[in-house]
Amino acid sequence: MSGLPVITEMKVIPVAGYDSLLLSLSGAHAPYFTRNIVILKDSRGRTGLGEVHGGDAITKALEEYIPLVVDSDLGKYRSVIQSLKRIHEKSARNSEGIQSLSLANLKDVVHAETAVEAALLDLVGQALGIPVCELLGDGRQREDVVVLGYLFYIADAKKTGLSYINENDTSNPWFARRREPAMTAEAIVGQARAARDYYGFKDFKLKGGVLSGEEEMRAVELLAKEFTDARINIDPNGAWYLEDAVRLCKGSSLSYAEDPCGGERGYSGRETMAEFKMATGIPTATNMIATDWRQFYHATVEKSVDIVLADPHFWTMEDSVRIGQVLDHWGLTWGSHSNNHFDISLAIFAHCAAAVPGNITAMDTHWIWQDGQHLTRNPLKIRDGKIHVSDAPGFGLEPDMDAIMKAHELHNTLSSGDRNDAMAMQYLIPGWKFDPKRPCLVR
Ligand code: GKR
Ligand code: MG
């Protein structure tokens, strides 16, 4: 035995939270989003927390891990994670990050074991009295992690007749703004201002692939005019054809472009992104064409990507930091992608970012759309556009079991469709329809 405690219990708790009617290539976000929470207990009575994407397939994968985790020696946590990874490899289907009209396929790219890895690291950190970031890669590289303001087009939830959350009674201007429609470039700038005023963001990303490329790039230019020092990025999730992406972005104010184009006419996204870079001189980022080591190899050979958005939920925490180290050695850049998440994932992102060496890009987070729906008593805060990663042992989070059980009850009220594909085009936006030829929403 290692002298560290033994894991005595592993709970898997599927949970749900509320969301705005955010739009992306995949359609409209449903009124709810789902996640899976892992809670580990050790023989010294400590609690470790982990979080990963929602969906029944991921809940089941996590439940299958329980016999491999319970009774294991915390000091051998790396071997435990390896044993879980082997199960994932066996069951992995096609590990694609390609976002399409159905997000249900996300389960194939998500590494469910990240939730267990996070909870184990939380416990090891607590046992040793050090923060999780000290256990990753070469240990802590920074105290503060820069995050970007993630902007979305929002449709009018009132017109859907669905139970979207409203925050009419809030006195917080950002909380009020985030539930209101935003379908024009001017409204996106207003959204950015409200997010900046509350969180202090310096950099912004606009989720594109929703309206016409021209209208979305108009929003980019308005943002650049208003936030003159900001790094501005657009992410149409590969929706634009290469020719259109080049025409739209060349000479623009973008600091970089995230998945501006994808596979077309027999060329893969790795090839079209390389051509986009050559044609525009604009650096590219991705969470779609370099989502595992093999894809990363091909993306590197093609020189298609400058910034790899290595979401720890897609890579595991250890591998997200490992690829960050490789990127730094090669003069490339690490960042992270995100989906809707709770505060445990916020800590997972922040501790990875704190451990990646070099000049990383501002990290994505959807947290601003969920802020207020805490599963812990002391969620990390975004201030001045940054998250401070303290020296508190582990993640330094205290679970709020009442909030977790409430989120679990909400999850149990959802239909199977809502639990498993809470972002599909199942809620068409009144007055708009999807034009597959362009592809974007049109009135
Ligand atoms: O939340 O609609 C969304 C995003 O489009 C998300 O699903 C993406 O995976 O944020 C992600 C991205 O950067 O591609
Ligand atoms: Mg993206």
All structural domains of the chain with their residue ranges? 7-130+400-412, 144-388
Domain 7-130+400-412 classification at class level: alpha beta
Residues near 211 by beta carbon (within 8 Å), at least 6 away in sequence = 153, 183, 440, 441
- State the ligand closest to the CA atom of 366: 1
If you measure from the C-alpha of residue 22 to the centroid of ligand 1, how many angstroms do you get, rounded to a whole number? 10
> What is the model's pLDDT at position 304?
98
What H or E segment, with its residue span, contains residue 317?
helix 317-329
Q: Whole-angstrom Cα distance, residue 8 to residue 69? A: 9
Contact between 191 and 182 under an 8 Å Cβ cutoff? The reply is: yes
Q: Decide: 237 and 263 in contact? Cβ < 8 Å.
A: no
Q: How far is the CA of 338 from the centre of ligand 1 (A)?
A: 7
Catalytic residues: 207, 337
Specify the pairing of strand 382-383 against strand 386-388.
antiparallel
Residue 191 Cβ < 6 Å to ligand 1: no
**What is the per-residue pLDDT for 51?**
98
What percent of the chain shows pLDDT beyond 90?
81
Q: Backbone phi, then psi, for 204, in 5-degree steps?
A: -135, 150
CB 19 within 8 A of CB 30: yes
Kindly give the pairing relationship between strand 7-18 and strand 433-435: unpaired
- Site to substitute for ligand 1 among 234, 339, 423, most atoms within 8 A of C-beta: 339
Q: Are strands 47-53 and 382-383 parallel, antiparallel or unpaired?
A: unpaired
Taking every pair of Cα atoms in the chain, the longest distance, rounded to a whole number of angstroms, is: 65
Q: What's phi and psi for 164, nearest 5 deg?
A: -70, 145
34-64 tens-digit pLDDT:
999 999 999 999 999 999 999 898 999 999 9
Question: 197 is written with which tokens?
Answer: 């005023």
Q: Name 432's Cβ contacts closer than 8 Å, sequence gap at least 6.
A: 155, 441, 442, 443
Contacts with 158 (C-beta within 8 Å, 6 or more apart), sequence order: none
Alpha-carbon 396 to chain mean position: 21
- Tell the residue nearest (CA) to atom 6 of ligand 1: 339
Nearest bound ligand to CA 148? 1
* Nearest atom, ligand 1, residue 209 CA: 5
**pLDDT at residue 430, rounded to an integer:** 55
Ligand closest to 314 (CA) is 1
CATH number of 144-388: 3.20.20.120
> Are 57 and 21 spatial neighbours (Cβ–Cβ below 8 Å)?
no
Question: Which residues have a Cβ under 8 Å from the Cβ of 114 and sit 6 or more positions away?
Answer: 50, 52, 312, 313, 315, 316, 317, 348
What pLDDT, on the 0 to 100 scale, is given for residue 425?
A: 45
Q: Is the dihedral of CA 420, 423, 429, 435 positive or negative?
A: negative
Task: Report pLDDT for 246.
Answer: 98
Query: Can you list the residues of the chain whose pLDDT is less than 70?
Result: 88-108, 421-443
Could you read off the pLDDT of 227-262 as tens digits, one per residue? 999 999 999 999 899 999 999 999 999 999 999 999
7-130+400-412 and 144-388, same CATH topology: no
Which residue type occupies 139?
G
Dihedral sign from CA coordinates of 27, 28, 29, 32: negative
Which of left, alpha, beta for 424 (phi over 0: left; psi -120 to 50: alpha)?
Answer: beta
- Please indicate whether residue 287, judged by its CB atom, sits closer than 6 Å to ligand 1: yes
| Ion ligand 2 contact residues with beta carbon within 5 A | 235, 258, 287
Q: What is the DSSP letter of 32?
A: E
Q: How far apart are alpha carbons 320 and 290 in whole angstroms? A: 12
Residue identified by tokens 């009774």 is 71
Q: How far apart are CA 232 and CA 219, in angstroms?
A: 11
Three-class SS of residue 322? helix
